[in-house]
Amino acid sequence: MASAMRYALSRRFAADRYNLVMVARNAQRLKEISDEFRRSFGVETHWIAKDLAVPEAAQNIFDELQNKQIHVDILVNNAGFNEYGPFIATDLHQELRMIQVHIGALTALTKLFLPAMVQRHRGGILNVGSTGSFAPVPLNTVYCASKAYILSFTEALAEELRGTGVMVTALCPGATKTEFASRANMGGARIFQGSLMDAGTVAEAGYHALLRGKTRIIPGFVNKATVASLRLLPRDMVARIGRWMMTPESGFFPEGRLDARVSQDEIGHVYDRLSGMYDIWGKLAESRARRRAIDLAGIEDGQSVLEVAVGTGLAFFEIVKRNQNGRNVGIDLSTGMLSKARKRLGKLSGANYELSIGTAFNLMTENESIDLLMNCYMFDLIPYDEMDKVLTEFKRVLKKGGKLILVNMTEGEKLGSKLYDFIYDLSPKTMGGCRGVRLSEKLKSHGFTVEVREYHQQALFPSEVILARK
């Protein structure tokens, strides 16, 4: 399937008896298809092995064809590639090369070959864009920005050229079966998991659009419908959907999963706002996992218990009830959640507890002083690379053999359970900043012994309950 689009486009023109000049880097492959098209269609074929990322390439190609007195009636700017991934991690050198191929070479080739076409009142330019020309697409940030240039450039030039006899068309395919995805190492992206268009069909659409003088062509009904709907949605929403489409199921982060996207500074405010309705959510989606956590905690009266991120006190209430003669300390970042927790604990007469503002990153607790540390739905808010700090704190305050109970939103394992990660991906704050995490391996790497790890799903919401010991 090597360079299937180039092959299909060249073949389509050769089939209509156009002589060909093909440009790419791989000389061997160029020679093979050059020979094939000469044999099959009886057309003249030439090839030039050239790296279009080199700024002088366009001028060199132009000069070479001038010297050979080869006139270009139709210019097809098809060469392209992607540097895929989070912008912070992608290779700048490759991105600058991509910009040179998609923008620099395409503009220069057009500039050089267009005047003769206009003079002859005949000719055409087919620029290969993408459905990504219509949208900002994360993880293809530079690729789609450069493809947007191709569309804008083509549309403006088409208007300039009206009445000259020269056509210019942007061919904007969606995901197509070629080497493109594997070369960019993006075969795992969701967009390439569905049915892909065939390069021959795409080339056919581009060829006919150019001959009919259409300014742009989006091949395929699904691609057309996608682009039409993108135009109706706010750009921010388009970018979020684009991000989801481009993310592999397995994610991009060290643990291969979604990473936290709401900053720790914001979390307190987010939960202040959510505190009014948190209990309804807790009952609907988290109550089974919390009940199981309390069972696993096996609280014995007289213990020293710390709950980090008490929230509205749903678990803390049960802890204090069972540990009347022990020490119960609860902390949380959100004043809104804490005031709910205080109200709830107020219902327990003569209860023995302290509730205060506090952060998991810096526990105001002595070393090795805690028998049981409970923590519900907090790690799912913390970026992976910050989790180690918190686990180090947890280990510091737990007594040897002390119990750590963790409950978190986890990755969905059953039907429908990926819904919440999907919502998170589109809008993290709608999910209160929670995304699915798996903590067992991290705990082990901190020297905890994981005794129990259970998956609980309620209202499609996936939770994991872990009992670990220091």
Q: Which residues are catalytic?
A: 143
For residue 244, the minimal CB distance to ligand NAP (Å) is: 17
Instruction: List the one residue from 169, 176, 410, 463 that touches ligand NAP (CB under 6 A).
Output: 176
CB of 80 to ligand NAP, least distance (A): 2
**6 binds ligand NAP, rule: CB under 6 A:** yes
In the complex with ligand NAP, which residue's Cβ is closer, 178 or 215?
A: 178
Query: Binding to ligand NAP by residue 130, rule CB under 6 A?
Result: yes
Tell me the residue type at 220: G
Asked if 217 contacts 205 with a C-beta cutoff of 8 angstroms, the reply is yes
Question: Any contact of residue 128 with ligand NAP (CB under 6 A)?
Answer: yes
Shortest distance in whole angstroms from residue 364 CB to ligand NAP? 55
Among 461, 253, 295, residue whose Cα is nearest residue 377: 461
Cβ distance to ligand NAP smaller for residue 6 or 340: 6
Of 110, 141, 169, 178, which one interacts with ligand NAP (CB under 6 A)? 178
CA distance 333 to 269: 9
Of 20, 33, 58, 79, which one interacts with ligand NAP (CB under 6 A)?
A: 79
Closer by beta carbon to ligand NAP, 52 or else 270? 52
Give residues 250-309 in contact with ligand NAP (rule: CB under 6 A): none
Phi first, then psi: give them for residue 413, nearest 5 degrees: -120, -10
Q: Toward ligand NAP, which CB reaches closer, 24 or 338?
A: 24
Query: Nearer to ligand NAP by C-beta: 3 or 408?
Result: 3
Indicate whether 101 belongs to the interface with ligand NAP (CB under 6 A).
yes
Minimum CB distance to ligand NAP smaller for 171 or for 274: 171
62 or 81: CB nearest ligand NAP: 81
Q: How many residues bind ligand NAP (CB under 6 A)?
A: 25
Measured from the Cβ of residue 290, the count of other Cβ atoms closer than 10 Å reads 23
Which phi and psi angles does 5 have, rounded to 5°? -70, -45
Angle at 221 between CA 415 and CA 420, to 5 degrees: 25
By 3-state DSSP, what share of the chain in percent is helix, strand and coil, each rounded to 5? 45, 20, 35
Answer whether 8's CB lies under 8 Å from 37's CB. no
Among 33, 37, 47, 80, binds ligand NAP (CB under 6 A): 80
User: Looking at 33-41, 170-178, 220-228, 272-280, which segment touches ligand NAP (CB under 6 A)?
Assistant: 170-178
Determine, following the binding rule CB under 6 A, whether residue 173 of this chain makes contact with ligand NAP: yes
Residue 11 to residues 20, 34, 43, 307: CA-CA distances in angstroms? 9, 10, 11, 69
> How far is the CA of 254 from the CAs of 124, 167, 251, 295, 329, in angstroms?
48, 48, 9, 32, 33
Selected from 10, 34, 45, 78, the binder of ligand NAP by CB under 6 A is 78
Of the candidates 52, 54, 114, 57, the residue with the CA atom closest to the CA atom of residue 78: 52
Looking at beta carbons only, is 223 or 334 nearer to ligand NAP?
223
Helix, strand counts (H, E) of the chain = 18, 15
Interface residues for ligand NAP in 18-57 (CB under 6 A)?
24-26, 29, 51-53
How far apart are CB 139 and ligand NAP at their closest, in Å? 14
The minimum distance between CB 211 and ligand NAP, in angstroms, equals: 19
Q: Residue 87 CB, nearest distance to ligand NAP (Å)? A: 18
| CB 113 to ligand NAP: min, Å | 16
330 SS3 class: strand
Least distance from ligand NAP to the Cβ atom of residue 96, Å:
12
Residue number of the CB atom closest to ligand NAP: 80
Residue 81 binds ligand NAP, judged by CB under 6 A: yes
Which DSSP letter does residue 189 get?
Answer: B
Give the Cα-Cα-Cα angle 294, 298, 300 (nearest 5 degrees): 120
Task: Using DSSP, state whether 97 is helix, strand or coil.
Answer: helix
Task: Report if residue 3 touches ligand NAP, rule: CB under 6 A.
Answer: yes
Listed ranges 169-177, 264-272, 411-419, 459-467: which one lies at the site for ligand NAP (CB under 6 A): 169-177
326 near ligand NAP, judged by CB under 6 A: no
Q: Is 200 exposed, middle or buried (0-12, 13-18, 19+ CB in 10 A)?
A: middle
Q: Minimum Å distance from CB 137 to ligand NAP? A: 11
Give, as one character, the DSSP assignment of residue 451: E
Residue 216 in contact with ligand NAP, rule: CB under 6 A: no
Distance between CA atoms of 176 and 378, rounded to whole angstroms? Answer: 41
Q: How many CB atoms lie within 10 A of CB 389?
A: 13
Q: For the purposes of burial, counting CB atoms within 10 Å of the CB of 369, is it exposed (0-12), middle (13-18) or buried (19 or more)?
A: middle
- Return the structure tokens found at 155: 């549309």
User: Is 121 one of the binding residues for ligand NAP (CB under 6 A)?
Assistant: no
Q: Which of 166, 74, 157, 66 is nearest to 119 (CA)?
A: 166
Binding site for ligand NAP (CB under 6 A): 3-6, 24-26, 29, 51-53, 78-81, 101, 128, 130, 173, 175-176, 178-180, 183
